[in-house]
Structure 1
């Protein structure tokens, strides 16, 4: 079977999965609430796969193996961060769901606008988040290109590979909505799990004879890959700890994951996800192990993004590569769906309608779907012009999105003295510090993750400025938190918050 036939067959299967998702989700995607949050009726099964698909992406399938291949034990940061993030999600996502249901919020910026009673702050956060999220779309397109380059062995150029991925992704999102994406995620996760398990079982036996001998070879031949900072030279224990904390608090700051909380049919659904989602971590441990094995099997001169697909190409017969190719392509396309959807909804609902409230909800819904294509094109352009290692893209994006943590969790849920001025000053300070440290190549700085340093600056500025400025009136906050914190005395006013126009 030729490489072109493998790719062609794989894309036909991917296209069929895309049509399936579009067909399943189309009936539920007649308005913004149905298209974006499935009318808040998604059960445990679909939320499980939707969150799993969003968190375990092409990054897990390819990028993490490549990061372990290049940086060794530093890759374990990505296992630890999710476990910490699930604990945070268990505590905060049900509260966010209760507030979202009360006021029919569908985006992260809706929440921020309501909490701080500031339409301008909601618009600003929506615009900034949409721009940061383009990096995540870029990550998925980069991963897709790596798959096609390895399997195609030069038969399809990276530009054409990226373009094909863009067309499939944009079409799936436009027609299927969040429910269609969830069903696509079910297929994607099953295939990805099967592919990783097969790799994890076959590679040790094929190249080392047994698991025991493989791990023994790691200790004897690549010991620097098993310690910190080891082969990475500068990613030591302090970097690991600060990176885990930063990424864990930042995980639910991504608007697409924040929005998944709105899709659930009850807070209990979200708690169940937090309890059982860590089982997915076994996949990451397997992928990191495969990355270590690639050092011994392939040498140390290969592009990091490509090693897992190169091992598949080297190890399995061509006809069997279809499974891996389909799984990898879906791992790039399916998780990008909610990211594109959320970016377009933030731009249409929170930015455009925020600036011009006279625009009808029907027009906003149509505009949201129309923005799917230009937003994905921007990500495609950046992928072609500025290619990078998948994990590097993700780490830098986390540095910036994590700066929303004080606004959403600290002030959004727990500290009622927080103000819109404090939120804005803190975010701008955090972004400025993160940008400076990253652009001047001071990441890590003194062993610390640069984004964590930026977040600490953010929190201090957020606290000081909030103390010096006027908070939202208590009676409005009492009404805002009524369902989330029922011990608060009931407010006799209507169960909606009147938004103060800045």
Structure 2
């Protein structure tokens, strides 16, 4: 299906970022719902969230449920504005918008580099999800090449169909991915509680495990229900993650591929259906505790990422376990493709064209973006093969710390240009350094490894908070203070090339691309004007 997608609703030529990188900017409500669902609810959803529930409980796992509830009212408000200004000016990436809004190529570069940097571990997380499935199936051998061969093959397929079909490939595959997910979770949430002795037994087993004292730390293994000191970690993780989610370039790419601002708003209204699914998925971690699954990997080390694949392998017939494994694998391929395309678009538009070849043609942009998408996936693969598999969730959370620091430039910029471009750049730089150092200083008490989590204690207290939100607060304070200073000193800011009317423009308005009607909205596709 990924390879066939190159001929699905294709224009005369795929040699432009509008076609290859944004699917022709013409997806309607139905396609976008599957595309955004496939983009946002990933192998991270299937593997890492239940694994976190299995290993440490609610603070590191179940926070994902409230954050996906909070995020949709936010995007209902600001993503429609980003769609409008992007279609009026032909922006492909969030960094394109920052370049036009603030007239600063350096601020645009900072946003682009942050997007690429934050996306790499997110793609890696998808590959880790596939690797957990392959390992549960017994694929791979003792030597390094044989162990990673299945992942290398999956990577090659992903790279090939993304190169040939662009965003149309994950859009088409998303139908299969979401169908499989709803089938698997529907069956699991009905069958497993019955097979494991009921919900009382499941929650009882989870409480017993998570409240057991860890000999290595002298503290409980996890938190069945967060105590008072855990409340701040829970809500700051949820809020910070909600603010960060649609700063990721792959989220913006999916939004900009839609054909009208109302498609964006309709999807903000109906996507919370996935939040119910996410809550049920998270509870699989507790079911894995009750089922007493074996999480020892082929390397002899415990790996919580294996909890859910091993649960399905242990509790279901082999044929249904195969369907569940397919859902996880396809659930990794769809977002990995979108993420690599989004990162490649950032490199092409905001690094290659801005700094290396200003006169690049649309065809040259498309060619460079295709090659860059291969390099991004290769980088993520190296990330996976060279890093500890048990920290995949924390890798994604580290990316969240970084990408959240672009919020002032992008979201605040959608409503006002008051922030000074140099103040935004300074706030971003300080917050990036602070957030990375703080995350590095979090040491996992069991493994003694750095980057052991994304929450830290407020100085002189036992209260824990999300590092990304603290860095974001520091970012805002610096931006506001320096903006006041620069305005007082009359330091020149960039030229805003947008107009207030751009932020409410819709399809059919002057200057907005006239895109064809698509089949999912009914009727044939008339010719472009």
TM-score higher than 0.5 here?
yes
SS where residue 81 of structure 1 aligns? Answer: helix
C-alpha deviations, 1:90-134, integer Å up to 9, x for none?
000110111011101111111010010112322332123212211
Distance in 2 (CA, whole Å) between partners of 1:231 and 1:154 is 38
Aligned CA distance change for structure 1 residues 468 and 120 (closer, same or farther; 3 Å): same
Whether 2:28 is the aligned partner of 1:50: answer: no
- Alpha-carbon contact 2:414-2:503 (below 8 Å) kept: no
1:359 partnered with 2:348: no
CA offset at residue 404 of structure 1? 0.6
Distance in 1 between the 2:268 and 2:201 partners?
36
1:70 maps to: 55
* Partner Cα distance (1:224, 1:177) in 2: 49
Does the Cα contact within 8 Å between 2:209 and 2:221 map onto a contact in 1?
Answer: no
Preserved CA contact (<8 Å) 2:102 2:494: no
- Deviation track 1:242-286 (CA, whole Å, cap 9, x = no partner) reads 111111111111011122221111111111111111111122111
Q: Which residue of 2 aligns with 1:272?
A: 266
Structure 1 pair 475–321 and aligned structure 2 pair: CA distance change class (3 A): closer
CA distance in 2, matches of 1:215, 1:335: 32
Shift of 1:463: 1.0
1:481 counterpart residue number? 500
* Range with greater deviation from structure 2 (281-290 or 56-65): 281-290
Which has the higher mean CA deviation after the structures are superposed, 156-165 or 450-459?
156-165
Provide Cα deviations, 1:412-452, integer angstroms capped at 9, x if missing partner: 12232112101101110110110110111173222111111
Deviation at 1:24, TM superposition (A): 2.5
**In the alignment, is residue 93 of structure 1 matched against residue 105 of structure 2?**
no
Superposition pairs of residues 87-486 of structure 1, within 5 angstroms: 87-152=73-138, 154-155=140-141, 157-208=146-197, 210-211=198-199, 213-215=201-203, 218=206, 229-230=223-224, 236-298=230-292, 302-355=302-355, 356-388=357-389, 389-410=391-412, 412-441=413-442, 443-446=455-458, 447-469=464-486, 477=496, 479-484=498-503
Instruction: Quote how far apart the aligned CAs of 1:237 are.
Output: 0.6
Question: Shift of the alpha carbon at 1:382?
Answer: 1.2
1:53-87 Cα deviation digits (max 9, x unpaired)? 11110011111110100111221210011111111
The 1:159/1:235 distance shift into structure 2, 3 A limit, reads farther
Return the offset for 1:300: 8.2
1:164-188 deviation line (CA, Å, top 9, x unaligned): 2211211121112212211111111
TM-score, normalising length from structure 2?
0.83
TM-score, length-normalised on structure 1? Answer: 0.87
- Is 1:32 paired with 2:13? no
How far apart are residue 474 of structure 1 and its match?
A: 11
Task: Give the Å deviation of 1:469.
Answer: 2.4
Aligned-CA RMSD value:
2.8
- Name stretches of at least 5 consecutive residues in structure 2 with no aligned partner: 214-219, 296-301, 444-454, 459-463, 513-529
2:374 and 2:235 map into 1 onto residues whose CA distance is 38
**Contact persistence 2:170–2:334 (CA under 8 A):** yes
Q: Secondary structure in 1 aligned to 2:113?
A: helix
Q: Deviations over 1:274-323 (max 9, x none)?
A: 11111111221111211011112126865211111101111122233221
Number of residues of Structure 1 aligned to a counterpart in Structure 2: 471
Is the helix fraction higher in 1 or 2?
1
Cα distance in 2 for partners of 1:310, 1:109 equals 41
Instruction: Give the match's secondary structure for 2:503.
Output: coil
Taking the aligned partners of 2:69 and 2:341, their CA distance within structure 1 comes to 26
Supply the distance in 2 between the matched residues of 1:325 and 1:472 (Cα, whole angstroms): 57
Offset, 1:26: 5.3
